[in-house]
Amino acid sequence: MTKPPNDPSLRSWIRVPKGSDFPIQNIPFGIASWNGEPPLPATRIGDTVVDLSILADMGLLDGTGIAREAFLASRLNDLMAFGKPAARALRERLSELFREENPTLRDDNELREDALLPADQVRMHIPVEVGDYTDFYSSREHATNVGTMFRDPANALLPNWLHLPVGYHGRASSLIPSGVPLHRPMGQTRPDPNAPPVFGPTKQLDFELEVGFLTFPGKPLGQRISTAEAADHIFGLVLFNDWSARDIQSWEYVPLGPFLAKNFASSMSTWVVTLDALEPFRTAGPAQDPTPLTYLRTQGHEAFDIALEVDIAPEGGAATTICRSNFKHLYWSMAQQLAHHTVNGCNVRCGDLMASGTISGPTPDSYGSMLELTWRGTKPIQLSNGEERKFINDGDTVTMRGHCEKDGLRIGFGEVEAKVLPALPFA
């Protein structure tokens, strides 16, 4: 019997360095370009990127249910449009082609020469064309910390928080891939509550440690996706840094929520790890009390054990790990987020992005933002070079990583990284 793609004993004829995020059991999907050629769908094994358009052109991906034209597109949407069964069949076919005992690609020197490239020679792009982007607020620890800082510590959670996944609609146009720098945003702040607001660069630039999921086509407008159906509509996950300007946000967010404080940039990792690849790492999420309303109830394990960490590297300096958290801490699961998003008949389209909200754990070193790690700037963090940080400085590079590990199998996301540049001059 053929071993399934998640079998820990599988080995590839492509070399996979020890500790790699991308063993043969992963098979993530992304959009890559090289030598000035147009961006095309790709996957990755170890430190090798594989051009899927070449494999499709040779007929090696026929029978998966995905048309060859989808492998010539500059985003994964065309591939994802064929749905979960086709994406699963594609992953299974690629798993077969890369196994150490399969000679089809392994022994075809010319085909290997054309289709395989070192990862450090390719440029990665945003993997999907995101039509709509929703940001949730699903970490109880994060919501409690923020409520404690800005409101009444005895009533840190607002009355609705334990009854529904709070979320808001973000800006899809300012999503950027890992490696692309961003300029410090500008806006109104009110440092003196007794004086008029002022305009200028944010002084409280922050990261938000998040994980996002990307959707297959949903149901027509007016229909809903249940928690039991949610997995069939989730293609895969990415690491996500939803940058935030805290001082701008604190002035502008009443009554409709953040605007300029959030819409200037959000960074996402470039390899989409499929939900199928993460199945071995399902785990129990936090106990939910009170019991959610019927449409939000789930069966089985809906959380995933994904270890997360955040580094800050100052200009020309070494990186310091300042946060270690885990995706499993989220109070509201992805299935609940998607069910709530669509319960009123809202239609979800292929390539929509749903971000988790800041992921904070139960201990101070697991808080997923500078706002919490430094407790609104009152407890600065010390970097390895002796410098202190209350928030993010110009020249700092923020890097987030995530991986799962169990029974000797490691599945990872790579990283999402961005450098902060000074604010652009205001004309």
pLDDT digits (tens, 9 = 90+) for 370-417: 999 999 999 999 999 999 999 999 999 999 999 999 999 999 999 999
Tell me, yes or no, whether 225 lies in a domain: yes
Q: Examine the domain organization and report whether 290 and 365 are in the same domain.
A: yes
Question: What is the 3 state secondary structure string of 281-306?
Answer: HEECCCCCCCCCCHHHCCCCCCEECC
Total of domains in the chain? 2
Q: At residue 139, what is the residue type?
A: S
Q: Are strands 186-189 and 182-183 parallel, antiparallel or unpaired?
A: unpaired
What is the pLDDT at residue 101? 97
Q: How far apart are CA 333 and CA 236, in angstroms?
A: 14
Q: Examine the domain organization and report whether 315 and 395 are in the same domain.
A: yes
Tell me, yes or no, whether 12 lies in a domain: no
Whether 335 shows a pLDDT value over 90: the answer reads yes
How confident is residue 63, by pLDDT bands cut at 50, 70 and 90? very high
What CATH number does the domain containing 294 carry? 3.90.850.10
Q: Are strands 182-183 and 273-274 parallel, antiparallel or unpaired?
A: unpaired
What is the pLDDT at residue 426? 80
Residue where a domain terminates, one of 108, 125, 142: 125
Q: Examine the domain organization and report whether 156 and 83 are in the same domain.
A: no
DSSP bridge pairs for 245: 205
What is the pLDDT at residue 151? 86
Q: Examine the domain organization and report whether 324 and 267 are in the same domain.
A: yes
> In sequence order, which residues have a C-beta less than 8 Å from that of residue 65 and are 6 or more positions away?
82, 85, 86, 89, 90
Segment 221-252, tens digit of pLDDT: 999 999 999 999 999 999 999 999 999 999 99
Tell me, yes or no, whether 17 lies in a domain: no
Residue where a domain terminates, one of 93, 125, 157: 125
Residue where a domain terminates, one of 106, 125, 144: 125
Q: Is the dihedral of CA 338, 344, 157, 382 positive or negative?
A: positive
- The residue written with tokens 């440690």 in the block is 209
The boundaries of the domain holding residue 262 are 133-421
DSSP bridge pairs for 310: 323, 400
How confident is residue 181, by pLDDT bands cut at 50, 70 and 90? very high
Whether 1 shows a pLDDT value over 60: the answer reads no
The per-residue pLDDT of the chain, averaged, comes to 97
What is the pLDDT at residue 152? 86
Nearest to 368 by CA among 220, 243, 203: 243
Percentage of the chain beyond pLDDT 70 is 100
Tell me, yes or no, whether 426 lies in a domain: no
Q: Examine the domain organization and report whether 330 and 197 are in the same domain.
A: yes
Q: Examine the domain organization and report whether 158 and 181 are in the same domain.
A: yes
Please say whether the beta carbons of 82 and 61 come within 8 A: no
Whether 176 shows a pLDDT value over 80: the answer reads yes
Q: What mean pLDDT is predicted for residues 298-309?
A: 97
Nearest to 235 by CA among 76, 96, 343: 76
Which residues are tagged catalytic? 142
DSSP 272: B
Q: Examine the domain organization and report whether 89 and 150 are in the same domain.
A: no
Nearest to 310 by CA among 394, 207, 421, 396: 207
